[in-house]
C-alpha cells in the first residue's frame, strides 16, 4: 500500500469539505469531464495542455503527474495525508473508493475519491522536520516515508526517530511526485522550525510562562499558578498596572501533543464563573478536536482558543516586546524571501 498527500487549497478553503464529505478532491474546476475513460498518459496530457495553453512545459508535466496519480495510481487501502491550513495538524485517512466524477457537484469538488478519515487532527509537532518536508507542495504527491508514518500511527502517533539525513527532502520518482518532488513551502517549513524550538524549550509549565509573557506584552497584569495542580487555572489576567481593569480573564494552558476535547474546554467555562471572570483563553499546543471547533462561534464573546498556529502567530506579533531572557531561549529573526506563488499549482 502506498501513501499520498492531497492538499485542500492554498489557504485550506476546501478542507472542511474534505473532512465533512469523507472524500479527497482533484480541484481542477477547468477539467469539466469524467477522466475515468482516459486510459494512458499521452491521452491525458492533451487535457492540461488544452486547459492551460500558455503554461510552461514543466507546469504541464506537474499537472499531468498529479492528475494521473489521482485518477489512475491511487488504490483502495492506500493512506492519504491532508495537511491542514486551518490548524497546525495533519489529517490522515484511508482511500475507500475509486475515482469518481460528479456532474452536479461544486466545480472544484467534482473529481473525488471516498476516504475514511481515521486520524484527523494529528499535531504537526509529532513529526520530525524531514517528514514535514514531505507534506509541502505540490497539491498531490507521494509520501516517501510511508513506513515511518505507519509506525507512528501504530505507536499512538508518537515520534519515530528519523532516518539520518542531510535535512533536505529526498526526491521522489517523477511518476509519484508529479514533477515537483524537491519543492518546499519555505514559510511552513520556517513555522515548523519555530514550533520545534518552542516544543523543546517550553514544554510543561514553561509554556504557561510563555503565554504569560505574551499577555504582559499585550498590556495585561498577570498571576501565574505555581507548578503542580492548578485546578483549571494556569494564569489570571486583567488590564491595567495592578490588574484591576476589565475584562478579567482565566487562562488554561495545555502543552501536550493531544488535541483537547469539548469537555475540557467546558471546564474552563465553569472555572471562569468560579473566579468571576468575563473571558477565558484556552491554549492547547496539541490543538482542539472537531467537537470544540463546532463551539467556536457560540463562545466567541467569552472564550478564545489558541492552538499551535495561533500561539506562534502571537509569538511573532509580540516578539520584540517579550522578556529579554525569554527571547534568548527563543532566538528568532525576521527575513524576506521571494513569494512562491509562481512555483505553486494554479489550483491550490
pLDDT digits (tens, 9 = 90+) for 73-115: 999 999 999 999 888 889 999 999 999 999 888 888 999 999 9
Residues 155 and 270 in one domain: no
Residues 135 and 95 in one domain: yes
Residue (of 282, 81, 92, 310) closest to 191 by Cα position:
310
Confirm whether 338 is domain-assigned: no
Residues 124 and 214 in one domain: no
Residues 6+ apart with CB under 8 A from 286: 123, 125, 254, 256, 257, 258, 259, 260, 307, 308
Residues 156 and 252 in one domain: no
Residues 303 and 240 in one domain: yes
pLDDT of residue 203: 87
Residues 183 and 234 in one domain: no
Confirm whether 346 is domain-assigned: no
pLDDT per residue as tens digits for the range 312-327:
999 999 999 999 999 9
Residue 44 CA to residue 42 CA, distance in Å, equals 5
Confirm whether 95 is domain-assigned: yes
Confirm whether 342 is domain-assigned: no
Query: Max alpha carbon distance in the chain (Å)?
Result: 73
Residues 274 and 148 in one domain: no
Q: Average pLDDT over the chain, rounded to whole?
A: 84
pLDDT of residue 346: 43
Angle at 80 (CA atoms; ends 33, 15), nearest 5 degrees: 70
Q: Which of 182, 197, 212 is the last residue of a domain?
A: 197
**What is the number of alpha carbons within 13 Å of residue 151 lying toward its C-beta?**
10
Confirm whether 345 is domain-assigned: no
Domain count, the chain: 2
Residues 160 and 223 in one domain: no
Confirm whether 339 is domain-assigned: no
CATH of the domain at 227: 3.40.1350.10
What is the residue range of 156's domain? 3-197
Residues 138 and 235 in one domain: no
The burial of 263, by beta-carbon neighbours within 10 Å (0-12 exposed, 13-18 middle, 19 or more buried), is given as: exposed
Residues 250 and 288 in one domain: yes
208 compared with 176, residue with greater pLDDT = 208
Are 331 and 316 within 8 A, CB to CB? no
Q: Residue 193 to residues 50, 121, 200, 332: CA-CA distances in angstroms?
A: 41, 19, 11, 10
Residues 174 and 293 in one domain: no
H or E segment to which residue 153 belongs: helix 146-154
Are 152 and 160 within 8 A, CB to CB? yes
Q: Which of 197, 224, 242 is the last residue of a domain?
A: 197
Are 141 and 172 within 8 A, CB to CB? yes
Residues 123 and 23 in one domain: yes
What are the φ/ψ torsions at residue 226 (nearest 5 degrees)? -70, 165
Q: Whole-prediction pTM value?
A: 0.70
pLDDT per residue as tens digits for the range 258-282:
889 999 999 999 999 999 999 999 9
Confirm whether 63 is domain-assigned: yes
Q: Which residues pair with 214 in a beta bridge?
A: none
Angle between helices 41-51 and 57-68 (to 10 degrees): 130
H or E segment to which residue 280 belongs: strand 279-284
Confirm whether 337 is domain-assigned: no
Residue 346 CA to residue 343 CA, distance in Å, equals 9
Amino acid at each position: 500500500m502506498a501513501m499520498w498527500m492531497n492538499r485542500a487549497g492554498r489557504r485550506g478553503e476546501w478542507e472542511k469539505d474534505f473532512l465533512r464529505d469523507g472524500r479527497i478532491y482533484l480541484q481542477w474546476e477547468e477539467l469539466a469531464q469524467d477522466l475515468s475513460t482516459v486510459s494512458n498518459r499521452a491521452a491525458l496530457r492533451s487535457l492540461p495542455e488544452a486547459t492551460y495553453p500558455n503554461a510552461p512545459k514543466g507546469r504541464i508535466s506537474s499537472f499531468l503527474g498529479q492528475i494521473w496519480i489521482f485518477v489512475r495510481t491511487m488504490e483502495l487501502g492506500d493512506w492519504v495525508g491532508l495537511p491542514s491550513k486551518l490548524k497546525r495538524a495533519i489529517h490522515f485517512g484511508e482511500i475507500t473508493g475509486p475515482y469518481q466524477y460528479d456532474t452536479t457537484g461544486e466545480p472544484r469538488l467534482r473529481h473525488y475519491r471516498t476516504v475514511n478519515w481515521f486520524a484527523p487532527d494529528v499535531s504537526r509537532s509529532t513529526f520530525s522536520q524531514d517528514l514535514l518536508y514531505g507534506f509541502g507542495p505540490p497539491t498531490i504527491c507521494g509520501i516517501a516515508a510511508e513506513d515511518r508514518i505507519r509506525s507512528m500511527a501504530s505507536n499512538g502517533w508518537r515520534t519515530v526517530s528519523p532516518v539520518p539525513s542531510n535535512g533536505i527532502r529526498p526526491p521522489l520518482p517523477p511518476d509519484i511526485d508529479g514533477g515537483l518532488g524537491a519543492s518546499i513551502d519555505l514559510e511552513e517549513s520556517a513555522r515548523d522550525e519555530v514550533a520545534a524550538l518552542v516544543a523543546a524549550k517550553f514544554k510543561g509549565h514553561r509554556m504557561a510562562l510563555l503565554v504569560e509573557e505574551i499577555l504582559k506584552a499585550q498590556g495585561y497584569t498577570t498571576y501565574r499558578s505555581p507548578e503542580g495542580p492548578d485546578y483549571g487555572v494556569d494564569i489570571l489576567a486583567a488590564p491595567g498596572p495592578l490588574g484591576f481593569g476589565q475584562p478579567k480573564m482565566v487562562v488554561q494552558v495545555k502543552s501536550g501533543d493531544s488535541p483537547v476535547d469539548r469537555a475540557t474546554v467546558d471546564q474552563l467555562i465553569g472555572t471562569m464563573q468560579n473566579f468571576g471572570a468575563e473571558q477565558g483563553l484556552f491554549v492547547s499546543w496539541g490543538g482542539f478536536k472537531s467537537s470544540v471547533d463546532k463551539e467556536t462561534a457560540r463562545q466567541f464573546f467569552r472564550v478564545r482558543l489558541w492552538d499551535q498556529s495561533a500561539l506562534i502567530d502571537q509569538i511573532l506579533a509580540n516578539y520584540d516586546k517579550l522578556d529579554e531572557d525569554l527571547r534568548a531561549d527563543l532566538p528568532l529573526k525576521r527575513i524576506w524571501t521571494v513569494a512562491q506563488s509562481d512555483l505553486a499549482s494554479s489550483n491550490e
